[in-house]
Structure 1
Amino acid sequence: MEAANVNHSVRRESELSNRARMLISCPDQPGIVAAVSQFLFEYGANIVQSDQYTMDPEGGMFFIRIEFDLAELAGRVETLRADFAVVAEKFTMDWSLSLASKKKRVAIFVSKEDHALLELLWHWRAGDLNADIAMVISNHDDMRSLVEPFGIPYHHIPVTAATKAEAEQRQLEVIGDNVDTIVLARYMQIVSPTFIKHYANRIINIHHSFLPAFVGGKPYAQAHNRGVKIIGATAHYVTDELDAGPIIEQDVQRVSHRDNVEDLKRIGRHIERIVLARAVSWHVEDRIIVYNNKTVVFN
């Protein structure tokens, strides 16, 4: 089984060696798709996937995700970026270009609950999460024995109300310039605005409710007290406003009056795992465009 996974990984990396992904958002107007397609055609690129969406077709915004193959991509990408900037300026584009072969490096933050963390580790080990998990950081040492057998560095950085600023500075030092994305896999600490500014739209949190309902702490108790018939989980980008960042993915499951708070937690853990894994996968595959406080997800 391990050999099969290795062969699959090698084959996938070979297929992606000359593949790039482009994300574009701009004011909607005629000629955008034609201009991008013509540019890539003239470069000799082959478009293998293209998805687009127009928000409010009359005077709204246009969003597109394009995957393309281009021979000898690594040696040509900087020239391609410079040349495409001319097209981007004409259409007032907000855009990015990334290499599919360059996996995003992820740091997972966790506290004492293991379900969201383990789901990501299992997906990563199976080759279904196209990222490198660079490290796991926790304010407790409980998860070390789960993480280290995966060969992933584990950093225990305690956090108290009195030491929060120092702990965050230590976290930033450990991460350094070595991480693209941070995943809060039931990390039960509020991240400060100072920390968030280093990773705008690159910190993904899983909240154990169907936002915007039941923000903050103990959402399952809130849901039980309200007598809801559906509970859910929400993966979102972290912003300065608690549990109010752009939503990436959500899911729900029906419950009844017979379910107590512990039942809701048990059911919710399953939803949380699935929702977070989807969101992280879409993020590392460059499938998400953030616009204002919303997301366009090309899944």
Structure 2
Amino acid sequence: MRGYFVRGIPKQRRSIKVQRLAFRAQRLASSFPVFSPVPASPLLLGITTATASFGAAVWQDETLQSELRLHRPRRHGARLVALVRDAMTHAEADRSALDAVALTVGPGSYTGLRIGASTAKGLCRTTGAALVPVPTLAALAEAARPFAPPGTLLGVVLASRRGEVYAAAFRCEDGALASAASPEALGSGEAARRFRDLQAEQGAESLWLVGSGVARVGDALEGDGTERRAAQLVENAWPTAGAVARLGAARLAAGIAPVDVATFEPRYLKSVHTTPRPQSVFEGLS
């Protein structure tokens, strides 16, 4: 059968390369040196790989102990494991003492999500840590929350394929986030209308739009006669590993059960544009 091409690479070959990178990340995740002394309080590792900006953070005793990040598109497979190892080194954390690994679960980059999932699953299997999924858009909102005034409607938007955006909305209330609209894949015009309607329905004093899809939604706001300055637009914003760690720790404290490591898969929100080989090809190579 004739193969289809994406950016000059056949889909089947591209998918095989992604799975090989993911397997390599999972295999390397079990190779960290063990450090001492071991902290007495529980440890949580936060990982974010859903966007071009990726990183790792260590959370302990309600405090961010260390955080490292890189903005290097398509370098997740080559650099993530080193970032995790270095973040744990800076926190003087023992890998064997990990209680949980929190991870951006999606939506986002297909390759980034697969590599992040494989790395997190490899760590959980070798340490016995719990796996805590954190929605990518919630992590982006949490990263922006400290800068937004109380009562702000926070619209988070990540650029997607074909001119679409991944969008969700949150209210900033009493130093925390409250969900106002669940994540969806939308056209930029539809996302702009949703945010304006939500602002009116909830009586939000201000609307902030943050994330890599802001330019698309901002243009749509201008197109319907709304002045862009009526909303705060922050395009250079990304989900951070520190935000993932905070949300993961909050989920555990709230009694939300971790997911099964063996069956966990990222959440893409819509069909990916590749044709992956069956997972069984790599399942036995952990």
User: What TM-score bracket applies, with the shorter chain setting the length?
Assistant: under 0.3
Q: Which protein has the larger Cα radius of gyration, Structure 1 or Structure 2? A: 1
Higher relative contact order (CA 8 A, sep 6+): 2
TM-score of the pair, normalised by structure 1: 0.25
Q: What TM-score does the superposition give when structure 2 sets the normalisation length?
A: 0.26
